[in-house]
Chains A and B, each alone.
Chain A
Amino acid sequence: MDTAPGWVWSRVTGLTDMFATPLRTSHYLELMNPLWTTHKLQARVVSVWDETASARTLTLRPGRKWRRHRAGQHVRVGVPIGGMHHTRTYSISSAPGRDDECITITVKAAPGGRVSQHLVRNVVPGDYLPLGLPQGDFVLPDAVPLRPLFITAGSGITPVMSMLRDHAARGDLPSIVHLHYAPHPYDVIFAKELAKLRDDHRRYRLRLVYTRERGERSPAERHFTAAQLQEVCPDWRDRDVYACGPQGLLAAVEAHWQGADLSRRLHLERFHAPWADLPGDVPGGRVRFARSGLEVESDGRTNLLRVAEDAGLNPPHGCRMGICHSCDARLVSGCVRDLRSGAVVNEHGATVQLCINAAAGNLELEL
């Protein structure tokens, strides 16, 4: 807070903090309302809403320390499961600056995804979740008039939904073409709202493609192709493309725009780091965690953060996609493979990011 009241407030708490040492005033304010804290940011779950059978929208009221997000940004959410603190990153699906000062995240329960399943099945209104500040540059520019093409799949629609809601609420929806993929009609998140947007705004053209629905099209035609793009959006060369979805879709989109030498118009939001293509027989090895004395077998594809978590450890972590370096650990001996590039690191004493490295033979980590 840089406003005048914020400045006065920080002076006041600077003084009252001396009465609270070794804690801070904020720790006592938390007793009255966890949203009033300044030493950490939390959000109260206000309501939950099932979008589809496996996706749920959580409406969150962030604490005082929150700053307004830009449509398309994501946020780190802390989730205590079994007493342990986990962190995951989710796109914000609501428009910025809602009257009720709430935000929403829309989570799809991934098969085998501990945290996403917990958020979808177990979180109830009244729970408090630790929250980060909004981050990311997957946003529409403020000033430039823009004709975006959105390409989304599955829960990749969430940042784009925030953009659509933002512009619809302000009544300045630009000319938009939106290509969205989902397995079946009943899997489309925000289906009703998208249909209403399409009916209300002539400038918003929506095409839904169902990738697992049997029909006249062949399976290959149900996924992203150049022909399909030409059909849905003939002027794709003149548009800025914003794409968010699984790895396969983003790779195809990226290749297509690079082929047309239009990479500068490309904006991608990834859920995971882009993995390199590894041969099928890539070797794993035994992973030893030096400090805890544990030793487990691992294949050459599972990231070491997951390996450690499955072994019962809970290393600090953040983005789980190689950005934040929260999960950095020291390689004592052995060899790891960077899953993004496929490159092998065997430099002893090197710092490795657990979330984007896998075992390449036996190795030992200081963990």
Chain B
Amino acid sequence: MSFPVHLSDAAIEDFGRELDAIRDEVMDSRGDRDRRYLLRLIRIQRGLALGGRLVIFGSLAFLPEWLWFLPVVALGTLLLAVAKILENMEIGHNVMHAQWDWMRDPDIQSGTWEWDSVCPSDQWKHSHNVVHHTWTNVLGKDRDVGYGMLRVTAQQRWHPFYLLQPVSTVVMALLFEWFIALHDLEINRLLAGKRTLAETYPMLRRIGQKVAHQTLKDYVLWPLLAGPFFLHVLAANAVANVVRNVWAYVIIFCGHFPEGVHYFSEEEVADETRARWYVRQLLGSCNIDGGRLFHVFSGNLSHQIEHHLFPDMPSNRYPEVAPRVRALCARYEIPYNTNSLRRQFGTTTWKLYRFALPVSVVAPA
């Protein structure tokens, strides 16, 4: 089995043991501090959501003075978008990863948590926790490599459909939550006849129910409450959802697509040990540099490497783990892919344009 690191099998196993030690140390030290962090975050998030909606309604009082109305409604929309971002990323994503199950808080359990997204949480947990986190960056296994509709590496066979990538990625960014909702249906396998409609129907029904609740809330009920200003509120809510979509798209695409990331074949991961699994997660994930608030708003997915190594570790611990993992990688001379948002998203976008074309030669590293 070939592996893109120059380490002996024994060295890889040593590396794995050192990562285990970091994991054990942090997991053993979970306590009141972590619980307080999450409960406070949840309170802030709910306050922002309610506050954002109230400011949006408050802005209507300034009409028809558009000069006053616009900045206030923009503020309300921004607050609502921020609430949705926190809810989806630092709270929802991580709770559903079972990062907080250890607290045994009956209200905060991965099995029962539902998030503010059109994607039903149980389907997301399957496509994300089971498929993506187990088979990270394994071509033909990990359906998050291009999400079944994008070509992100020369190792994927080209198809004329990929020519649309410069346009389809923009559509995807704007409507990201809808693509996530449909992701677990595996529509391409359905079209290819590898999956039956009978298998798909119950999932479709669940999505339908979730979509109904979510759209009723944001696009019917809250706007109706505004009476004659129905469209104003609807537009504000739509913008908040789109801002959240674009932000999530940017952060998530920087996780596994920037320049320097590795993809693996099924042969390469056959009989993989725990330590090799760690190395694959490392080589297949990318971090984004940033400040404390940036990490919180990205759901700590800016620490994508640490998240993939320790997916059920409480996310507020990734910042303290990151320098240790990085030092460990330096010691073992394993590449640790971290860079600014501008660089990571820039190379991602560049790849999406480049691989839209039928280039199939892998550039030498």
User: Is B216 within 8 A of A18, CB to CB?
Assistant: yes
Asked if A31 contacts B213 (CB within 8 A), the reply is no
Cα–Cα distance between A27 and B30 once the two chains are bound (Å): 26
Pick out which of these stretches binds chain B: A81-89, A188-196, A208-216, A300-308: A81-89
Query: Which one of B31-39, B141-149, B177-185 is at the interface?
Result: B31-39
Of B32, B46, B116, B213, the contact of A83 (CB 8 Å cutoff): B32
How many B residues touch the partner, as a band?
20 to 34
**Is residue A312 contacting chain B, with contact meaning CB distance below 8 A?**
yes
Chain A residues with Cβ below 8 Å from B213 are 18, 21-22
| CA of A125 to CA of B213, assembled, Å | 40
Give the contacts of A18-44 with B (CB-CB under 8 A).
18-23, 27-28, 31, 39-40
Q: Is the CB of B102 within 8 A of A314?
A: yes
Interface string of B17-60 (1 = CB under 8 A from A): 00000000000101111110000000100110010000000000
**Which residues of chain A have C-beta atoms less than 8 A from B249's C-beta?**
none
**Candidates B50, B104, B114, B222; contact of A28 at CB < 8 Å:** B50
B103 x A19 contact (CB < 8 A) = no
B105 near A: Cβ within 8 Å? yes
Which B residues touch A183, using CB under 8 A? none
Q: How far is the CA of A83 from the CA of B28 in the complex (A)?
A: 12
**Set of chain B residues within 8 Å of A86, measured between Cβ atoms:** 104
- In the bound complex, what is the Cα–Cα distance between A85 and B101 (angstroms)? 10
12 additional A-B pairs beyond A80-B35, A85-B104, A85-B106, beta carbons within 8 Å, are: A19-B217, A19-B221, A20-B217, A22-B214, A40-B107, A80-B103, A82-B31, A83-B31, A83-B35, A83-B103, A85-B105, A314-B104
A-B contact pairs, 9 of them (CB 8 A): A22-B214, A23-B46, A27-B46, A31-B46, A83-B35, A83-B102, A85-B104, A314-B104, A316-B104
Interface residues of B, Cβ cutoff 8 Å to A: 28, 30-35, 43, 46-47, 50, 102-107, 114-116, 213-214, 216-217, 221-222, 225
Rounded to whole angstroms, the CA-CA distance of A312 and B30 in the bound complex is 11
* Residues in A whose Cβ lies below 8 Å from that of B104: 84-86, 314, 316
Please tell me if the beta carbons of B103 and A85 are within 8 angstroms of each other in the complex: yes
Residues of A within 8 A of B115 (CB): 22
CB distance from B311 to the nearest CB of A (A): 16
Query: A19-B221, A40-B107 known; A83 and B50 CB under 8 Å?
Result: no
Q: Enumerate the 5 nearest inter-chain pairs by beta-carbon distance, A residue then B residue, closest first.
A: A83-B35, A22-B114, A85-B104, A82-B31, A21-B213
**Shortest CB distance A334–B (Å):** 25
In whole angstroms, what is the CA distance A86 to B35 when docked?
14
| Of the residues A19, A23, A84, contact of B102 by C-beta under 8 Å | A84
Given contacts A22-B213, A28-B46, A31-B46, contact A82 B106 (CB under 8 A): no
B28 CB contacts on chain A under 8 angstroms: 312
Min CB distance A22 to B, Å, is: 4
Report A-chain residues with C-beta under 8 Å of the C-beta of B35.
Answer: 80, 83
Among residues of B, the one whose C-beta sits closest to the C-beta of A86 is B104
Residue from the list A19, A22, A39, A316 in contact with B116, Cβ < 8 A: A22
Q: How many A residues, CB 8 Å from partner?
A: 21
Give the chain B neighbours of A85 by CB distance below 8 A.
103-106
Q: Is the CB of B32 within 8 A of A82?
A: yes
- Determine whether the beta carbon of B43 is less than 8 Å from that of A83: no
Checking A22, A28, A83 against B30 with a beta-carbon cut-off of 8 angstroms, the contacting residue is A83
Question: In the docked arrangement, what's the CA distance between A37 and B228, Å?
Answer: 33
Which residue of chain A has the shortest Cβ distance to B44 in the bound complex? A31
**Chain A residues positioned under 8 Å from B114 (CB to CB):** 22
Query: Shortest distance in angstroms between B97's beta carbon and chain A's nearest beta carbon?
Result: 16
**In whole Å, how far is A15's beta carbon from the nearest beta carbon of chain B?**
9
Q: A53–B109 Cα gap in the complex (Å)?
A: 38
Q: Is A84 in contact with B103, judged by CB distance below 8 angstroms?
A: yes
- Closest residue to B107 on the A side, CB-wise? A40
Within 8 A of B (CB), among A136-162: none
Whether B214 and A21, one on each chain, are in contact in the complex, defined by CB atoms closer than 8 angstroms, is: yes
A18 to chain B: closest residue by CB: B221
**When chains A and B are docked, how far (Å) is the Cα of A22 from the Cα of B213?**
8
Complex CA–CA separation, A18 to B222 (angstroms):
10
Distance A141 CA – B207 CA, assembled complex (angstroms): 53
- B328 CB to closest chain A CB (Å) equals 23
Contact A21 B217 (CB under 8 A): yes
B120 to chain A, nearest CB (A): 10
For B30, the closest partner residue in chain A by CB is A83
Q: Please, which residues of chain B bring their CB within 8 A of the CB of A314?
A: 102, 104
Closest Cβ of chain A: how far from B212's Cβ, in Å? 10
Closest to B213 in A: A21
Q: Once bound together, how far apart are the Cα atoms of A83 and B317, in whole Å?
A: 14
Which B residue sits closest to A317, measured CB to CB?
Answer: B104
Cα separation A314 to B50 with both chains bound (whole Å): 34
Q: Do A83 and B34 form a contact, CB below 8 Å, given A28-B46, A28-B50?
A: yes
| Contacts A40-B107, A80-B35, A83-B32; A19 near B46 (Cβ below 8 A) | no
| B47 and A31 contacting across the interface, CB-CB below 8 Å | yes
Report chain A residues within 8 Å CB of B105.
80, 85
Determine the chain B residues whose CB is within 8 A of the CB of A80 once the complex forms: 32, 35, 103, 105
CB-nearest residue of chain B to A312:
B28
Q: How far is the CB of A41 from chain B (nearest CB, A)?
A: 11
A143: shortest Cβ distance to chain B, in Å?
A: 38
Q: How far is the CB of B350 from chain A (nearest CB, A)?
A: 37
> Please, how many angstroms separate the alpha-carbon atoms of A121 and B29 in the complex?
22
Bound together, the chains give a CA A85 to CA B31 distance in angstroms of: 11
Q: How far is the CA of A22 from the CA of B105 in the complex (A)?
A: 18
> How far does the alpha carbon of A130 sit from the alpha carbon of B39 in the complex, in Å?
14
Separation of A27 and B47 alpha carbons in the complex (Å): 10
With a cutoff of 8 Å between Cβ atoms, the chain A residues found around residue B31 in the complex are 82-83
On whether the beta carbons of A19 and B222 are closer than 8 Å, the reply is: yes
A80–B31 Cα gap in the complex (Å)? 10
Bound-complex Cα distance A82 to B115 (A) = 27
CA distance A312 to B29 in the complex (A): 11
Query: In the assembled complex, how far is the CB of residue B36 from the closest CB belonging to chain A, in whole angstroms?
Result: 8
Please report the C-alpha to C-alpha distance between residue A85 and residue B106 in the assembled complex, in whole angstroms: 9
CB proximity of B34 to chain A, nearest CB, Å: 6
| Distance (whole angstroms) from the CB of B129 to the closest CB of chain A | 15
CA distance A20 to B218 in the complex (A): 10
Complex: A130 Cα to B216 Cα, angstroms: 33
Q: Give the distance in Å from the alpha carbon of A28 to the alpha carbon of B83 in the complex.
A: 13
Give the docked Cα–Cα distance between A39 and B107 (Å).
9
Whole-angstrom distance from the CB of B114 to the nearest CB of chain A? Answer: 4
Contact with B along A284-295 (1 / 0, CB 8 A): 000000000000
Complex: A159 Cα to B18 Cα, angstroms = 54
Residues of A near B214 (CB, < 8 A) are 21-22
